[in-house]
Each structure stands twice: as structure tokens, then as C-alpha cells.
Amino acid sequence: MTNTPLPSAMSGTLTAPAAGGFWHILGRRKSASKPPEDTSAKRVQFNSPLLPYLFLAPQMAIIFIFFYWPSVQAIQSSFYLEDPFGFGSTFVGMANYTDVLKSGEYLGIARFTAVFTALVTFFSLAIGLLLAVKADGVIRGNATYKTLLIWVYAIAPPVAGLMGMMMFDQHIGPLVKFAAFFGWDIKVGLDYSDTAFAMIVVSVWKQIPYNFIFFLSGLQGIPVSVREAALMDCRSGFRRFWTVILPLLAPTGFFLLIINTTYALFDTFGVIDVMVKDKAANNPITLVYKVYMDGFRGNDLGGSSAQSVILMIIVFVLTIFQFRFIERRVHYS
């Protein structure tokens, strides 16, 4: 019963900043993608000034109930020590926070999360971009290529995790056999770095189609004549890519950077869960998984809430940082 605020609190703190960032970018992209000549587009006029708010109300209600309210709940419960069996709670001030931040285990997990997020974001963006560029160049049968590449996106994260587990299975996993061929004995769920490796591979694999779709549509949004002009101005295809194609993909890239960062931080939960659940050994986990472990397994609702508030702050700072320092270099055409 006392558990009820936590799951929603967790999902709330985890997704609220991400969702905020997402909508913000979408809004910008829409307004920015229009050429300046089209600014005179038709404006819808409402008869009653209340009507637009009424249209917005369902969406606002969802955001408020599922994102903001749980966030407030999480912040509140992070200052209390909750009884594991639901017999009341005690105000403890900042104790939950200081406990977490002083814990060597927590800092270790934070460090792993940073590395994990950086690697997953980098590789899923890089491979997605590479595939998109290559698929964009294919002329014959390109619909088949695209479908095959997008396919993976339809798989739910836990299923992806399961499939990844199969690939890395001790007995039947083809990747394990392949690695053994080079003398590498992969032990997922037992060896810390092997598990980390498998987690990163599966998480990247799961996210590539998403990035692929966006990069491909970004590439197709680049006017053909601009590419042709570049073809006449620059002989080297590699140089053309860096000087013309990539800068024009920057808005897409920036949007994906934020989406992928939040993906690596939060949405890899399912993959991690499948990989490390019920494994006794010291396995790598990310901060989000730690929130879940402490809250649901350890029944430490206060500490878990404090952790999710810390995560919320991290994402908030990260998003601000990305907008302040990276978006400046992005050209919206």
C-alpha cells in the first residue's frame, strides 16, 4: 500500500525533464523548419478565448497527473524515512541525500552510469548515422533496406533484453561462441565487464533503428539541389559529408543527442533488468536500476526517492547544458 506513490514517483521524476525537453525541441523544430517565406501561414482563430485551453486540457492533465504530481511526491518523500511496512514516516531532513552521496557504492554506480550513457549514446548515434547515410545512397531496393533496419524498433525493451541474453547465452549464444573463437570467454551475469559489454551492445542495438529513422528523414530533408551544388563545388565525398551534409543534419543530431541521453539513462531499464535480475554476482547497474532496487527490493522509499530527485537534477542540468553549449552550434535552416 505504501508502495503506491513510489512507482509513479519514479516514472515521474525519470521522465518529466526528458518529456519537457522533448516537446520543447519538437516545437522549435517545427517553427524552425519552415522557410522564412512561409511565415504568413494561416492562423487559426478561436471564437472563444477559452477554447484553445480546453483543447490543451487533456494533455496538460496527463502531464500534470503523471509527471508533475509524482515529482512533487518524490521530492516530499525524499525528506522522510518511510516505514517499510507502511506504519507512518519520520521527517529526517537531508539525511537521505547525505547517505546516498556518501555511499561509495552509489558513486561507483554513478560513474558506471556516466560511462554507459556516453558509450551507448555515442555508438547508437554513430551507427544510426552511418546506416542512414548508406541506406540513403542505395537506389535499388532501398525500401527493403529501410524496412529491415527499422524493424528492430518495434521490439519492446524487455524482449530486446531477452534476445540480447540469448545472443550472449553461456551455452547457445552465437556471440559467445564467436568471441570464444578469438579466445574471449564471455560470462554475462558473472563477470562485471562482460556484463557491462553485453548491456551496452544490446542497448545500442535497440536504439539504432530509432536514430536511423530520424537521420534518414533528416537526410531526405536536405534539398537535392544543395547536394548537387556541393557535388560541383567539392570533389571529395568525405569532405562534402563533413562540410555540407553533417551541418545540415545538426538539428536532427541535437534532438537525437538529447533523446539518446535520456534513453541511455532511463529506458535501458528493461535491458538491464533482464541481464542482471536474480544474478548473485556484483553486476554493473545504472542509477535508475539502483532506484528500483532500493525502492522495491530494499523497501527504502525515502532513500530511493532521494536518488530519483538527484537523477532529476542531473537530467535537468544536462539538458540545460546541451541547450546552452551545443545548440548554439546548431543551424536551423
Chain residues binding another protein by CB under 8 A are 35-36, 223, 225-226, 228-236, 239, 243-244, 247-248, 250, 331, 333
Rg (CA), the chain: 23
Nearest CA-CA partner of 323 in 118, 24, 63, 120 = 24
Q: Which residues pair with 91 in a beta bridge?
A: 80
Least distance to another protein from the beta carbon of 241, Å? 13
CB–CB of 241/183 below 8 Å? no
Q: Minimum CB separation from another protein for residue 129, in Å?
A: 17
Distance of alpha carbon 122 from its chain centroid, rounded? Answer: 12
User: Nearer Cβ to another protein, position 103 or 333?
Assistant: 333
The residue (of 102 and 331) whose beta carbon lies closer to another protein is 331
CA-wise closest residue to 245 among 263, 224, 260: 224
Q: How far is the CB of 34 from another protein (least distance, A)?
A: 10
Map residue 331 onto helix, strand or coil: coil
Cα four-point dihedral sign 92, 97, 102, 107: positive
| Cβ neighbours around 231 below 10 Å, total | 12
User: Which of residues 88 and 221 has its CB atom nearest to another protein in the complex?
Assistant: 221
Q: Could you tell me the three cell numbers for 319? A: 539538458
Question: Smallest Cα–Cα separation from 6: which of 91, 76, 103?
Answer: 76
* Whole-angstrom distance, CA of residue 126 vs CA of residue 144: 22
In the complex, least distance from residue 247 CB atom to another protein, rounded to whole angstroms: 4
Closest CA to 309 of 1, 64, 80, 91: 80
CB of 149 to another protein, least distance (A): 24
What is the 8-class DSSP label of residue 36? Answer: G
Would you say 249 or 285 has its CB closer to another protein? 249
- Pick the closer one to another protein by CB: 118 or 229: 229
For another protein, give the closer residue by CB, 18 or 248. 248
CB of 250 to another protein, least distance (A): 8
Of the CA atoms within 13 Å of residue 307, those in its CB half-sphere come to: 27
d(CA 310, CA 17): 12
DSSP code of residue 286: -
Nearest distance from residue 222's CB to another protein, in Å?
A: 9
Which residues, listed in sequence order, are joined to residue 255 by a DSSP beta bridge?
none
Between 11 and 333, whose beta carbon lies closer to another protein? Answer: 333
- At its nearest, how many Å lie between another protein and the CB of residue 72? 42
Q: To 10 degrees, the CA torsion angle through 132, 134, 135, 136?
A: 80
User: Which residue, 102 or 235, is less far from another protein as judged by CB?
Assistant: 235
